[in-house]
Amino acid sequence: MPFLPIYDNNPRVYISRPYVVWSLIALNVLGFVWQTSGGDQGFQTVVYRYGFIPAVFGGAAELPPAFGAAPSALTLITSQFLHGDLFHLVFNMLFLWVFGDNIEDALGHGKFLVFYLLSGVAAALAHFGFNIGSEVPVIGASGAISGVLGAYLLLYPRAWVMTPVVFIPLMLPAGLMLLFWFGSQLLNVFEGDAASNVAWWAHIGGFVVGLALVGPMKRPMVPLFGGHRPPKNLRVHTAAARRRSRPDPARTQDQAEAAEAPDQGPWAGKGPWNRNAEKPSTSGRKGPWG
């Protein structure tokens, strides 16, 4: 990923705390601790057991039964919580921390979890489609987080994100940064960077699926391309609402005195609406609608 987000100025509107984002970060950290707890041999064993291997998923290869690998379909999920090294983990979690809370806010806790996992599954399938015979395990949350980036681009392109440019932290438009990020993924694919161990197609697949899913899954009141400002008058302070609903004795008295006082305006008694001003009705009617 060609840029490193540090902070965005996009406030949450509908949720107070992004519990799902926090939980996903915790699970990824625990998964990495589990990977490294068995040394190098244990690390590789976990990767092959629970990583996504295209050749195994497609039936072109299989792991020894004694190896105890997870079902290949299940690795579409388990691979999302494993990472290759500490830098890989920290980089992914930083992206999830900066961008994920606003998408959880826009979708809600439950829908965001489904959205995140579906983006990760779609990312793995996109990688499988272009690497069917590969026996190299694919691990990492990058595919699912790419879906989060796609959703962020569609919902908050005018938000501002702080990122270091030549070691100088600058606030840049999220839309510009995310389009640049997606373009860099396409460029790496077309250049055919075979020496890289990055699953570029997984990033592209997750991003595209994030764009496709966020529209039908977001809250109805969340606008597309809404920028970083929350909707106006969304929240009503309950105490203020109660104060407005209670009559103010002083204001009520003023209104009553104003109603009893004769109209002293320049049009008083000069219009057709005042024809009956000197002939009050004995029936109590105030007009044809009374």
82 φψ region: left (φ > 0), alpha (ψ -120 to 50), beta (else): beta
Beta bridge partners of 8: 161
Phi, psi of 133, rounded to the nearest 5 degrees: -90, 5
> At which residue do the structure tokens 């489609």 appear?
129
Q: What is the pTM of this model?
A: 0.77
E-strand stretches of the chain: 7-8, 160-165, 168-173
Please tell me the predicted confidence (pLDDT) of residue 282.
46
Contact 83, 89 (CB under 8 A): yes
Helical residues (DSSP H) of 156-199, grouped into ranges: 174-191
* DSSP for residue 279: S
Burial code (b: 16+ CB inside 10 Å, e: under 16) for 107-129 equals: bbeebbbebbbbbbbbbbbbbbe
What is the amino acid identity at position 212? A
pLDDT tens for the 290 residues of the chain, in order: 457 899 999 999 999 999 999 999 999 999 999 999 989 999 999 999 999 999 999 988 989 888 888 999 999 999 999 999 999 999 999 999 999 999 999 999 999 999 999 999 999 999 999 999 999 999 999 999 999 999 999 999 999 999 887 778 889 999 999 999 999 999 988 876 555 688 999 999 999 999 999 999 999 999 999 744 544 545 434 444 444 455 555 555 555 555 555 555 444 555 444 445 444 444 444 443 43
Residue 44 CB-density burial (10 A; 0-12 exposed, 13-18 middle, 19+ buried): middle
Please tell me the predicted confidence (pLDDT) of residue 31.
96
Torsion of Cα atoms, 26 then 196 then 131 then 38, to 10°? -40
Please tell me the predicted confidence (pLDDT) of residue 264.
52
Structure confidence by residue, pLDDT tens digits, 212-255:
999 999 999 999 997 445 445 454 344 444 444 555 555 555 55
**Cβ-based neighbours of 186, under 8 Å, separated by 6 or more:** 204
Contact 180, 3 (CB under 8 A): yes
Structure confidence by residue, pLDDT tens digits, 86-98:
999 999 999 999 9
Please tell me the predicted confidence (pLDDT) of residue 4.
87
Please tell me the predicted confidence (pLDDT) of residue 290.
39
